[in-house]
Amino acid sequence: MASSVMLAVLVSSLIVSSAGNFYQDIAITWGDQRAKIFNGGQLLTLSLDRVSGAGFRSNEQYLFGRIDMQLKLVGGNSAGTVTAYWLSSEGLNRDEVDLEFLGNLSGDPYVLHTNVYTQGKGDREQQFYLWFDPTKNFHTYSIVWNPRNIIYFVDNILIREFRNGQSIGVPFPHNQPMRIYSSLWNADEWATRGGLIKTDWSKAPFTAFYQNFNADACVWSSRGSSCRTMSNTNSAPNKAWQTQELDPLSRRRLRWVQKNYMIYNYCSDWKRFPQGLPPECRH
């Protein structure tokens, strides 16, 4: 199985999605000059100093799709910092799909923190160590969202699935369009070893890099989705992500990755849920 994962890494490194243009596709929402776009819109950086971090969001809203972003994370001693990349709707009862990269002391691995919110409720955390140094090169972090499930990929390697559990009473994001957001900010009260390790401001500014943003997705507007209904096969060109699910081989690979790299799973935390694990954990 290890060879299968390494083969997937090699294959994914040879595949580059058609890149968007940050000038056209995103709006810088905070941070002033700490967010910058270079190379004709092909490269974006966010920086954090003692005064402020920075962030951006997509201009478009999406209702289902595959979202890819290549990131190179803050290098060196990044303890206390969080680079976040997520999908979110608006309002108190928001839906949200999170990827948060928790910085660490130089030489220690980053923690990839994931969570799924449905109708304003989260508490579905899974955390992983990455099997590479995410600060040395760009790596691709992807979210597939369709009516059947939400799937997380790192360099095209499956790390997490959240299945549609509406049949057992678990809300699933299916009717609220979401934008893509990203930010770099200081969270040293909790981000590194529960807040024991604080941000070393002598290392500032901290900088994260972005490229090759691609949204192969259904764009939402006042007229509805550009894909109309996902059940209508004539409504949009056939896209693999529209019906993507895990086959038996994918599930075996997922179990291998989670066995070797997962460091926290809410579905195993009986202390947190003494009255019983959430129903989706048995789904």
Instruction: Name every residue whose Cβ is closer than 8 Å to that of residue 117 and which is 6 or more positions away in sequence.
Output: 88, 94, 95, 96, 97, 98, 124
- CATH code (residue 240): 2.60.120.200
3-state SS, residue 168: helix
Using alpha carbons, select from 229, 199, 211 the residue that is nearest to residue 21: 211
CA proximity to 87, closest of 106, 110, 52, 61: 61
- pLDDT on residue 87: 98
Rounded mean pLDDT, 128-155: 97
Say whether 269 sits in a helix, a strand or coil.
coil
Considering the chain, what is the average pLDDT of its residues? 89
How confident is the model over 144-189, as pLDDT tens digits?
Answer: 999 999 999 999 999 999 999 999 999 999 999 999 999 999 999 8
Write down the catalytic residue from 90, 100, 125, 280. 100
- Rounded to whole angstroms, how far apart are CA atoms 114 and 124? 8
* Confidence (pLDDT) at 194: 85
Domain count, the chain: 1
User: What local confidence, expressed as pLDDT, does residue 281 receive?
Assistant: 94
Band of pLDDT at residue 17, cut at 50, 70 and 90 = very low
Q: What is the pLDDT of residues 39-57, one digit of tens each?
A: 999 999 999 999 999 999 9
| Mean pLDDT on 85-92 | 96
| pTM given for the model | 0.89
Residue 20 has pLDDT above 90, yes or no: no
Q: What is the mean pLDDT of residues 119-147?
A: 96
Task: Check if 96 is active-site.
Answer: yes
Active site residue 280: no
By residue range, what is the domain housing residue 82?
2-282
What is the structure's pLDDT at 19?
Answer: 55
Residues 193-249 have pLDDT tens digits of 888 889 999 999 999 999 999 999 999 988 778 786 554 433 445 589 999 999 999
